Amino acid sequence: MDRHARQMKVAGIGPAGQARLAGASVEVRLRGLAADVATRYLAGAGVGRLLVPEERLAATARSIDPLVRAELGSTADDDRADGYDLRDPSARAVARGARAALLALSASVRGPA
């Protein structure tokens, strides 16, 4: 069974959306836990190329999906928790990483306007 068969059944993704994800390139411009969460979401979804700020994140992405081209090249410059009223810094970082990944996935599935 295809690794992404389940998400291809989601309305709005389908095989065409999954193909766009596989062809997408996403830059992770976060640090710390937020970068880790975003990298894991993006690799798990099947994004084809990830630019990450640390080799450990590239290794994480490759361990999740060996087909992901994870490369160094991003400049991590953002660890804020925009728009979230979460008291715990770790919770803010997780929320920020998840939000960044989901926004990138959404844009990749939609494809060119």
pLDDT in tens, 54-71: 999 999 999 999 989 999
The pLDDT score that the predictor gives to residue 84 is 42
Burial 76-86 (b: 16+ CB within 10 A, else e): beebebeeeee
Q: Average pLDDT, stretch 71-90?
A: 59
Give yes or no for a contact between 14 and 8, defined as CB atoms under 8 angstroms apart.
yes
The pLDDT score that the predictor gives to residue 55 is 94
Give yes or no for a contact between 21 and 47, defined as CB atoms under 8 angstroms apart.
yes
